[in-house]
Amino acid sequence: ALRKGSDLEKAFATAALVYNNYADPENKLSKSETKSLLQSQFWHFIQGQENKPKYQEIISSLDEESENKINFEDFMILLVSLTLTSDLLQEIKNEK
């Protein structure tokens, strides 16, 4: 759909496609599916973060949500939050 899109547009389209591939018919992810998706599709960003307080806070908030499932908006907020705490983000910034 975005063959001529920018790299950023393609990145967000890819995130939407990955989410849709994991989501249930109601277009939501269970918390366990979300964690599985992160481990299989986002592991470079979360690798080594498990013992950091901010990472634990983000993952704990996922467990504390009142609903058993998250929607695409919450998923994107989760990705951005995890990216901002990632060591990989700092490495990317340092490559300028």
pLDDT tens, residue by residue, 55-91: 888 877 776 656 778 899 989 999 998 988 887 777 7
End-to-end CA distance of the chain: 30
Compute the residue count for the chain: 96
- Kindly provide the residue ranges of all beta strands, DSSP E only, lying in 25-68, ordered along the sequence: 29-30
Domain boundary assignment for the chain: 7-95
Cα gap 10→18, rounded to integer Å: 12
State which CATH number among 1.20.810.10, 1.10.530.10, 1.10.238.10, 1.20.140.10 fits the domain covering 7-95: 1.10.238.10
CB 76 within 8 A of CB 15: yes
Cα gap 45→87, rounded to integer Å: 7
pLDDT of residue 60: 78
The pTM (predicted TM-score) of the whole model is 0.81
Q: How confident is the model at residue 23 (pLDDT cuts 50, 70, 90)?
A: very high
